[in-house]
Amino acid sequence: MLDLRLYMLQRITALIMAPLTLGHIAVMIYAVQGGLTAAEILGRTQGSAFWFLFYGSFVLAVSVHAAIGLRVILHEMAGLKGRSLSVVSWGIAAVLLAMGTQALVAVTWPGGAS
Partner 1 sequence: MEPVTSQESALDGQGGTLEVSVWRGTSQGGGYQRFEVPALENQTILDVVSWIQQYVDATLTYRFACRVGMCGSCAMMVNGQPRWTCRTHVKKVLKAGKVQIGPLRNLPVIKDLAADMDPFFDKWVAAGGAHAPSATRDDPIPPVDPEDAIRVEASAGIECINCSICYAACDTVAGNPDYLGPAALQRAWTLLNDAKHDARDQILDAVSGAGGCHNCHSMGSCTTFCPNDLDPMSAIAGLKRETTRAFFRKGRR
Partner 2 sequence: MSYARAHPLWLAFVLHRVSGLALALFLPLHFWVLSLALTRPERLDQFLGFTEQPVVKLAEFGLIFLLAVHMFGGLRLMAMEWLPWSAPQKTLAAGAVGVAVLISGTFFLQVV
Per CB under 8 A, does 80 bind partner 1?
no
Per CB under 8 A, does 41 bind partner 1?
no
d(CA 87, CA 91): 6
The option from partner 2, partner 1, none interacting with 49 (CB < 5 to 8 A, set by class) reads none
C-beta of 66: minimal distance to partner 1 in Å?
Answer: 16
Q: Residues binding partner 1: what is the number (CB under 8 A)? A: 12
Alpha-carbon dihedral sign for residues 93, 95, 98, 104: negative
d(CA 16, CA 73): 22
Per CB under 8 A, does 7 bind partner 1?
yes
